[in-house]
A and B are shown apart, each in its own frame.
Chain A
Amino acid sequence: MSSTTTAAARTGLGPPVLCVLDRAYRGAVEVQFFHALYGLLDLHGQFQRVDVALRGAAVTMAVEEDVYRPSVRLGTMTLDTLPDYRGSVRDLIAEDFTVYVDRDAVTALGFAPERLVAGTICVDAAELALRWPEYDQVWFV
């Protein structure tokens, strides 16, 4: 199909973008996989570069842990398809996104920066601001 060719030709057309996420929780049962990080993963191919900065409570998405299983029982149904944010952060890293995590928010929430998902970059707020000129656009997602 010619659409395949078109899609390939469009890849990377968009400008380099930094996506800033401040708000972490936007639903779970009704959202499942369809959360903000999933959207970014699927946008990737359309832009030259898409990077992510997690700030505020959103930094918890990048705190590594492998004990808690996001799952809830509702009626006779066990819903184990709730958002897996750190899994999505690992996916972002695996797909060559740069993921910045705001250090002040991490420590303010009582987490050690060493507990962040491997490959994420823990930065001070001022350092993050210095990187803005590397992008044509900064989106507040």
Chain B
Amino acid sequence: MAVMERRMWDLLLILTAAPHSGDVVTSALRLSQAVLDRGGSVRVWACGYANMMTQDTFGDTKLPNTRDPKGHYPSPSAVVQRMIADGEGRFGWIACTACSEERGAVHHVPQVRHRSPLRLARTIASARQTLYLGGA
């Protein structure tokens, strides 16, 4: 039988900055989309508070906007789910199990992979390039 080859991703983004610290999440998603548009593959490793973004308790939409109650505002988890679906295997999102547990945020949407930080080096090794975004 064929030898099993480990999949290589074009880019790994390690999202260490907290979402509220700046526009780091938007930057990560735009950068990911740019790579996807060029036919590449991207994986995001959510570190620290970035793990809050994919909790299944958000539902599909954000809380109602009191100034635009009929407006549609997708939740962060819905945005990630949509990118995973639209990426058709070329976009992945990894939740760090330690960071998630430390924050009591262990209920991720099912499309998110759970990975121990003990597998960080292996994850980096399976990407051609790795970028850290933000500081811890």
Binds A, one of B17-25, B102-110, B111-119, B123-131: B17-25
Q: Is residue A109 contacting chain B, with contact meaning CB distance below 8 A?
A: no
**Which residue of A has the minimal Cβ distance to B58?**
A30
Chain B residues, CB < 8 A from A26: 20-22
Binds B, one of A7-15, A32-40, A114-122, A126-134: A32-40
Given known A-B contacts A26-B21, A28-B26, A33 and B65 have beta carbons under 8 A apart:
yes
Q: By the criterion of a CB under 8 Å from any partner CB, how many residues of chain A are at the interface?
A: 23
Given known A-B contacts A26-B22, A27-B26, A79 and B79 have beta carbons under 8 A apart:
yes
Q: Contact between A74 and B25 (Cβ–Cβ < 8 Å)?
A: no
Given known A-B contacts A33-B65, A74-B29, A75-B85, A27 and B22 have beta carbons under 8 A apart:
yes
Binds A, one of B6-14, B66-74, B92-100: B66-74
Q: Is residue A108 contacting chain B, with contact meaning CB distance below 8 A?
A: no
Q: Is residue A141 contacting chain B, with contact meaning CB distance below 8 A?
A: no
Contact of A77 among B30, B71, B79 (CB under 8 A): B79
Q: Contact between A27 and B74 (Cβ–Cβ < 8 Å)?
A: no
| Whole-angstrom CA separation of A137 from B104 in the bound complex | 34
Chain B residues, CB < 8 A from A31: 20
| Whole-angstrom CA separation of A104 from B87 in the bound complex | 45
Q: Contact between A27 and B19 (Cβ–Cβ < 8 Å)?
A: yes
Chain A residues, CB < 8 A from B21: 26
Give B residues with C-beta under 8 Å from A. Answer: 19-23, 25-26, 29-30, 33, 36, 53, 62-63, 65-68, 71-74, 76, 79, 82-83, 85-87, 91
Given A30-B76, A74-B82, 17 other A-B contacts at CB below 8 A? A27-B22, A28-B25, A28-B26, A29-B25, A30-B25, A31-B20, A34-B63, A42-B66, A72-B26, A72-B33, A74-B29, A74-B33, A74-B79, A74-B83, A75-B86, A76-B82, A81-B72
